[in-house]
Amino acid sequence: MTEPSIPAAPQGATGILVLADGTIVWGRGFGATGSAVGEVCFNTSMTGYQEVMTDPSYAGQIVTFTFPHIGNVGTNDEDVEADSPHALGCIVREDVTAPSNFRDQKPFDQWMAEQGRIGLSGVDTRALTRRIREAGAPNAVIAHDPDGNFDIDELLAKARDWAGLEGMDLAIEVTGHQTKIWDGDIWRLGHGYAPLDNMDSQTGGNGKRPHVVAIDFGAKRNIFRNLVKAGAKVTVVPAETSFSEIMELQPEGVFLSNGPGDPAATGQYAVKVIQQLLETDMPLFGICLGHQMLALAAGAKTVKMHQGHRGANHPVQRVGGDWDASEGLVEITSMNHGFAVDGDTLPDTVVETHKSLFDGSNCGIRITGKRAFGVQYHPEASPGPQDSFYLFEKFVSGLG
């Protein structure tokens, strides 16, 4: 195979993206210096770049933002989904400008540097997005050197040697490692995440909140906040927590969180636990990776997607018949996944409840005869903005 010619570095280039097929993309580096290897994906959201960068589901990925102006509102300590960023880096069209927002605490480029994440600006992100759509999400190396000195052969070899996300269990790398009571709450302007004035107001004032054990495969914080908002008490446990350890906590329901990597790989230890929970008729609710592993536990299969679904504008239709009276209604959803449940492999015991109107892929299931359901999208991300909060209410109201 003939290697693509390497374009000369334009004047002022301090950043580079080297794809495994030899494609070179030059730009202006910002944030941390150095290099990182991962899968390049694209995200179509217009806002929420800080939430994207800190979402554990983006572990192992370099995010191309299709919206050209990223960084305009700066960063703050509240708009994060984990203790630290998990996306390896980001690619943007325009240079990061000075922030303009009353909640800003720090410019995005400074935040990226402090968090050890590499940014690349000045890139034709539309062309890169088309490249991903046509050829699939590539393995690549993103690098930043203020002097513009790059060993391209070394970076290319690094991109080609990376094994890719298929077969990779990343949940074990991003999960928390201790069981803990979730004591956070929903955000309010001027109060941040301060507790609600009356924590029992949504439970009829009786002080009894149904207990949900949330298995953390790389969960976003806002999921836990929405479970609390819906009326639950939440205990978070690590990804490898056993069935017996979960049952010792006396849950009234178990939540299966989102997370990164290949669900089949994480399922090597998680699926057996989920199957044991199903045998006890434990109420289960899964989101994204949790949804995929619930499907695996029920006998379905998952597949690596060509380009994945990532953004805050994905239309999903409810198709579940008796699962919900509002069959046919369309929700605007937020998504972030590179793997999907193969709808053709759903057994007779599983009903498809939601599907993507972009490509018809599976976006929701329920298991007949069990109190168990899952969705591929992220209701906690509040697109719509409240189209999907009913899922948390449905889960929590059915406990006890």
Report how far residue 133's alpha carbon sits from residue 358's, in angstroms, rounded to the nearest whole number: 13
Q: Is 41 a catalytic residue?
A: no
Is 148 contained in some domain? yes
Residue 146 and residue 294 in one domain: no
Q: Do 119 and 30 contact (CB within 8 A), yes or no?
A: yes
Q: Does residue 378 have an active-site annotation?
A: yes
Q: Is residue 129 part of a domain?
A: yes
Q: Give yes or no for a cis peptide into 210 (omega within 30° of 0).
A: no
pLDDT attached to residue 325: 62
Residues 152 and 213 placed together within one structural domain of the fold: no
Specify whether 358 is located in the same domain as 393.
yes
| Average pLDDT, consecutive stretches of 10 residues, N- to C-terminus, the chain (400 residues) | 66 95 97 98 96 98 97 95 96 96 97 98 97 97 97 97 97 96 83 62 59 98 94 97 98 98 98 98 98 98 97 93 74 96 97 96 96 97 91 93
Last residue of one domain, picked from the residues 161, 179, 205:
161
Helix (H) or strand (E) run with residue 304 in it: strand 302-318
Active-site pick, 41, 288, 337, 363 = 288
The helix (run of H) or strand (run of E) holding residue 27 is strand 24-31
pLDDT value at residue 183: 85
Do the domain assignments include residue 4?
Answer: no
The DSSP bridge pattern shows strands 61-65 and 34-43 to be parallel
Residue 205 pLDDT: 42
Q: Quick one: 69 and 213 in the same domain?
A: no
Measured CA to CA, the distance from residue 382 to residue 239 in angstroms comes to 25
- Say what the pLDDT of residue 324 is: 63
Is 218 a member of any domain? yes
C-beta of residue 55 within 8 angstroms of C-beta of residue 87: yes
Same domain (yes/no): 184, 313 = yes
pLDDT value at position 12? Answer: 85
- The DSSP symbol for 378 reads -
Helix axes 221-229, 390-397, angle to 10 degrees: 60
The single residue of 39, 51, 331, 380 carrying the catalytic annotation is: 380
Reading the block at residue 132, the tokens are: 């991903």
Q: Sheet holding 362-367: strands in order across?
A: 180-181, 233-238, 211-216, 253-256, 284-287, 372-375, 362-367, 350-356, 302-318, 330-341
Q: Which of 45, 47, 35 is nearest to 74 (CA)?
A: 47
Does residue 207 share a domain with residue 329? yes
Is 213 within the bounds of a domain?
yes
CA distance 335 to 318: 16
End-to-end CA distance of the chain: 62
Residue 190 sits in the same domain as residue 123: no
Place of tokens 């406990």: 399
Per-residue confidence (pLDDT) for residue 4, from 0 to 100: 57
Q: Is 3 exposed, middle or buried (0-12, 13-18, 19+ CB in 10 A)?
A: exposed
Owning domain of residue 133: 15-161
CATH number of the domain residue 121 falls in: 3.50.30.20
For residue 330, the number of C-alpha atoms closer than 13 Å in the C-beta half-sphere is: 7
242 within a domain of the structure (yes/no): yes
Residue 175 shares a structural domain with residue 32: no
Do residues 87 and 207 both lie within one domain? no
Predicted local confidence at residue 327, as pLDDT? 80
What the block records as the tokens of 298 is 């029920």
Shared domain for 128 and 175, answered yes or no, is no
3 within some domain: no
The answer to whether the CB of 31 falls within 8 A of the CB of 89 is yes
Instruction: Please tell me the predicted confidence (pLDDT) of residue 190.
Output: 82
Instruction: Say if 272 falls within a structural domain.
Output: yes
Helix (H, G, I), strand (E, B) or coil at 306: strand
**Do 124 and 210 fall into the same domain?**
no
Number of separate domains in the chain = 2
Domain boundary among 161, 182, 197: 161
User: Which pLDDT does position 170 carry in this prediction?
Assistant: 98
Does residue 66 sit in the same domain as residue 177? no
Residue 207's pLDDT is what?
A: 61
| DSSP 8-state class, residue 345 | G
Q: Which of 161, 184, 201 is the last residue of a domain?
A: 161
How many CB atoms are closer than 10 A to CB 145?
16
Q: Give me the catalytic one of 86, 291, 337, 378.
A: 378
**CATH number of the domain that residue 315 is part of:** 3.40.50.880
